[in-house]
């Protein structure tokens, strides 16, 4: 026992002087706003010592005893609603222990205290510099624009298996008293419905009662815009059973919708969830989607109307466009990953950046630890992102399925982690998700049209994502990039890609989508895929990453509706369906990179046949006949494919007015920097020419004074175009020079000559040869090829894979002819 500590705990005298000082200090600077009585005193927790057997001296990351210097953490934090009550009690007990053990007698924050009489000699593990979550720490509360009113309730659902631009944010949104509902019930007989959407991801601007059981609803446009009304998510209270209600949303903007071909809205009943464990379900009758009759010369509005009968009296129900997946849902999932002793070993969680409102944009790096540096360097990368459009929550459900599988102990998941490094950004636009936007960020712009932006401060999420991928490409090859989206006008799931112009890898970008359609035939439609690159899509993540060098760069579009394929035909997609597609992405990745190229070559042959059929179809539509036996592969794929205008595309609105000056200033600085900076030569050949020019000029100056150099100087004066034609005049000389270069390379096979050393040796030999030549004879010595062996491509290496997906064909196959493909180990 600790007698001195026991005496201190029994005294029950005045508050601790240190606690009293810290209370006034934090209150003065606005860090602590609770009542004085809520500040625990270490002398009031004596019973904790008697009932607990293990104590961790305070200081665990995320506990309330720690002061976090980050200004974004100064405001109150949100206790995770996804944790059970038992976990909450454990967290509260640990926090009490932490505060109580801050006694002056126990100054160390590193020793582990097991029993009251014993101190473990080992030190506690150092804090992770970049970690975010701990089992006893609260989650970061979502930060809202200060214009938004936010109710204090935490909305949680079960899942059955007025400024013109954004200025600032705070936890809890708008300061002051929240406005009450516009309607006040007059008594128990009042059957008026009460609507609410001031919660995370909610969207409903107003509801107007036009009849006893009929309401007209107006959606809020994306913040700081006057458009993008598609996503809705709101609460209804004071319901009546066995009564038919009609809801009509009157300000939708899209002329086409899946509601016209059978899609239904989603409804959630809290009484059904608590009594029968029934979550979100498709409900609604007499569903119509039609154009509004208002004609005022402006953009026309469209209406969605449906009828509904609530299952219970006095129930609380929710309606949504699709299954919600909020920022808090993501944080709860990441908290479970961070607290898992197994998953946290191969999944590292980092902050990619902060959003405009100060919310964390998370980056996950998933890979098994490599045994050697060479093995780590050989791994190729896969980049996956989601929720750049906040109203497309189906992207988050696919991402959830992918993460569930890749973080599991499945042998396939372990193999993928062995051969790849996965970079995952699960929510690119947390601000838009929090406030209930459909398409835009708080900058009032579609982020998926601004991946070329230079405005780091205005578009931080995509700027940092692009920069992260750019750095990744400098380190290793990125085999695949895929951005998960949702689609409101086409059924099924499909991909948008980019046609490859290199005939060496012709049609290879279509192999992965075709394989995916074979692995998920009842969900994924290859015939809905499109690979045309349009000018209006140049700013999308798919096209920008493709132009950065990622051949397999895709946008995955998953419908808000359902499937028209196979066993899933004429059914709505559920979260489980979308999560299963995340697994199929992993499975297809293994097929795509299997050492046995049988399946790859089969898909390539099938693609060529499909393309031939498409070409014949196009010529038949034009009323022409053409023999394509010899020349069909030379036809441009862009001429064959239709545009992706059927996609949920929004044209870029350009930059907001308040950012135009900033962009102009940055562009001017960029131009000035380019003018000041010397333009680099594009190739080694050009550098060699420049060296030869300067060298020959020096030689000419030296020979001008010497009598024997007069002939050489006159020759230079008579041929002013010599340097322009030096490449042509040196071809014969270089044929004789190649053996010498090979001889240079062969002198020491253990070392390789760098470009500067090689150039020096070549010029030295040129000087010696020129001194032996006649004065009137001029030569040029620009090398025709790269002679540096260190720059040549390394031979293909294939590690021993523990997975054989084609045992029947792999064992007896002969050595195949080398075929250019996207094989993970032979990609050039």
Catalytic residues: 557
Q: Find tokens 């036996």 and name the residue.
A: 629
Q: Which residue has the tokens 């299952």?
A: 311
Spell out the residues 6+ positions from residue 523 whose beta carbon is closer than 8 angstroms to its own.
Answer: 492, 493, 563, 565, 568, 573, 577, 580, 581, 584
Alpha helices by DSSP H, 773-801: none
CA atoms within a 13 Å half-sphere pointing along the CA-CB vector of 5: 16
The span from the CA of 134 to the CA of 60, in Å, is 8
Listing DSSP states for 81-96 in one string gives TTS-HHHHHHHHHHHH
Q: Which two tokens stand for residue 110?
A: 């590193």
Query: Burial letters for 607-625: b for 16+ Cβ neighbours within 10 Å, e otherwise?
Result: beeebeeebeeeeeeeeee
Distance CA 285, CA 152 (A): 33
Distance CA 357, CA 435 (A): 11
What burial letters (b/e) apply to 338-369, b meaning 16+ CB within 10 Å? beeeebbebbebeebbbbbbbbbbbbbebbbe
- Locus of tokens 């967290």: 91
Nearest to 196 by CA among 205, 187, 188: 205
C-alpha 495/C-alpha 493 separation (Å) is 7
From the list 21, 135, 132, the residue with the least C-alpha distance to 73 is 132
Centre a 10 Å sphere on the Cβ of residue 161 and count the other Cβ atoms it contains. 7
Are 477 and 827 contacting, i.e. CB atoms less than 8 angstroms apart? yes
Q: Which two tokens stand for residue 168?
A: 């600032």
Burial (CB count <10 Å: 0-12, 13-18, 19+), residue 30: exposed
| Pairing relationship of beta strands 194-196 and 233-237 according to DSSP bridges | antiparallel
Closest CA to 331 of 139, 130, 484: 139
Length of the chain in terms of residues written: 828
Half-sphere CA count of 531, side-chain side, radius 13 A: 25
Rounded Cα distance, 416 and 320, in Å: 36
Sign, CA dihedral 448-452-454-456, equals positive
Pair 392, 488: CB distance under 8 Å: no
Q: Are 424 and 483 in contact (CB under 8 A)?
A: no
**By 3-state DSSP, what share of the chain in percent is helix, strand and coil, each rounded to 5?**
40, 15, 45
């Amino acid at each position: 026992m600790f007698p001195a500590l026991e005496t201190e705990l029994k005294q029950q005298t005045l508050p601790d002087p240190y606690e009293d000082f810290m209370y006034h200090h934090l209150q003065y600077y606005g860090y602590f706003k609770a009542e004085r009585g809520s500040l625990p005193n270490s002398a009031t927790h004596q019973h904790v010592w008697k009932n607990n057997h293990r104590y961790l001296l305070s200081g665990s990351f995320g506990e309330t005893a720690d002061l976090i210097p980050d200004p974004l953490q100064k405001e109150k934090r949100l206790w995770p609603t996804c944790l059970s009550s038992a976990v909450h009690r454990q967290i509260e007990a640990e926090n009490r222990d932490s505060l109580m053990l801050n006694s002056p007698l126990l100054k160390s924050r590193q020793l582990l205290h097991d029993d009251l009489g014993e101190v473990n000699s080992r030190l506690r593990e150092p804090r992770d510099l970049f970690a975010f979550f701990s089992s006893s720490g609260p989650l970061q509360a979502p930060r809202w624009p200060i214009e938004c009113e936010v109710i204090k309730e935490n909305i949680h659902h079960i899942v059955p298996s007025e400024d013109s631009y954004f200025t600032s944010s705070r936890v809890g949104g708008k300061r002051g008293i929240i406005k009450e509902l516009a309607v006040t019930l007059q008594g128990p007989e009042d059957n008026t419905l009460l609507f609410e959407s001031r919660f995370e991801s909610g969207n409903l601007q107003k509801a107007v009662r036009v009849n006893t059981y009929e309401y007209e609803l107006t959606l809020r446009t994306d913040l700081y815009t006057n458009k993008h009304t598609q996503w809705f998510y709101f609460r209804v209270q004071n319901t009546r059973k066995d009564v038919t209600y009609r809801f009509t949303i009157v300000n939708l903007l899209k002329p086409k919708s899946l509601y016209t071909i059978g899609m239904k809205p989603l409804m959630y009943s809290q009484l059904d969830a608590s009594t029968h464990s029934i979550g979100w379900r498709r409900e609604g009758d007499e569903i119509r989607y039609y154009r509004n009759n208002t004609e005022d010369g402006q953009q026309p509005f469209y209406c969605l109307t449906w009828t509904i009968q609530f299952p219970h009296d006095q129930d609380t129900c929710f309606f949504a466009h699709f299954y919600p997946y909020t920022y808090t849902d993501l944080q709860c999932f990441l908290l479970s990953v961070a607290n898992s002793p197994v998953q946290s070993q191969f999944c590292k969680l980092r902050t990619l950046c902060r959003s405009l409102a100060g919310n964390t944009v998370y980056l996950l790096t998933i890979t098994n630890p490599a045994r050697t540096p060479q093995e780590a360097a050989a791994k190729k990368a896969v980049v996956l992102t989601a929720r750049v459009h906040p109203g497309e929550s189906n992207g988050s459900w696919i991402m959830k399925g992918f993460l569930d599988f890749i973080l599991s102990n499945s042998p396939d998941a372990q193999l993928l982690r062995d051969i790849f490094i996965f970079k995952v950004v699960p929510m690119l636009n947390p601000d838009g998700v929090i406030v209930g936007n459909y398409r835009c960020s708080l900058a009032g712009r579609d982020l998926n049209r601004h991946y070329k932006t230079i405005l780091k401060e205005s578009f931080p999420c995509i700027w940092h994502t692009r920069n992260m991928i750019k750095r990744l490409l400098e380190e290793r090859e990125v085999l695949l990039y895929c951005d998960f989206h949702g689609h409101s006008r086409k059924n099924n799931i499909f991909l948008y890609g980019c046609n490859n112009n290199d005939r060496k890898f012709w049609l290879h970008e279509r192999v992965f989508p075709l394989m995916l359609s074979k692995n998920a035939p009842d969900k994924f439609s290859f015939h809905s895929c499109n690979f045309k690159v349009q000018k209006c899509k140049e700013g999308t993540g798919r096209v920008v990453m493709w132009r950065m060098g990622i051949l397999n760069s895709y946008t995955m579009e998953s419908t808000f509706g359902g499937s028209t394929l196979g066993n899933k035909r004429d059914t709505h997609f559920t979260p489980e369906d979308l999560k299963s597609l995340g697994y199929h992405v992993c499975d297809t990745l293994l097929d795509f990179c299997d050492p046995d190229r049988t399946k790859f070559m089969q898909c390539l042959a099938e693609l060529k046949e499909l393309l031939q059929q498409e070409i014949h179809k196009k010529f038949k539509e034009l009323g022409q006949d053409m023999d394509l036996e010899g020349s069909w592969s030379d036809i441009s794929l862009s001429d064959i494919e239709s545009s992706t205008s059927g996609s949920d595309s929004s044209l870029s609105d350009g930059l907001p007015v308040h950012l135009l000056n900033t962009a102009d200033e940055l562009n001017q600085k960029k131009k000035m920097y380019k003018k000041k900076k010397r333009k680099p030569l594009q190739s080694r050949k050009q550098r060699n020419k420049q060296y030869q020019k300067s060298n020959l000029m020096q030689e000419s100056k030296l020979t001008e004074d010497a009598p024997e150099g007069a002939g050489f100087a006159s020759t230079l004066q008579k041929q002013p175009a010599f340097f322009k034609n030096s490449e042509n005049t040196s071809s014969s000389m270089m044929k004789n020079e190649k053996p010498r270069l090979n001889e240079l390379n062969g002198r020491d096979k253990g070392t390789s000559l760098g470009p500067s050393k090689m150039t020096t040796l070549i010029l030295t030999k040129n000087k010696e040869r020129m001194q032996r030549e006649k004065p009137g004879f001029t030569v040029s010595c620009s090398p025709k090829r790269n002679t540096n062996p260190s720059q040549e491509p390394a031979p293909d290496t294939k590690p021993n894979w523990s997975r054989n997906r084609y045992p029947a064909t792999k064992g007896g196959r002969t050595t195949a002819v080398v075929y250019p493909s996207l094989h993970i180990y032979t990609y050039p």
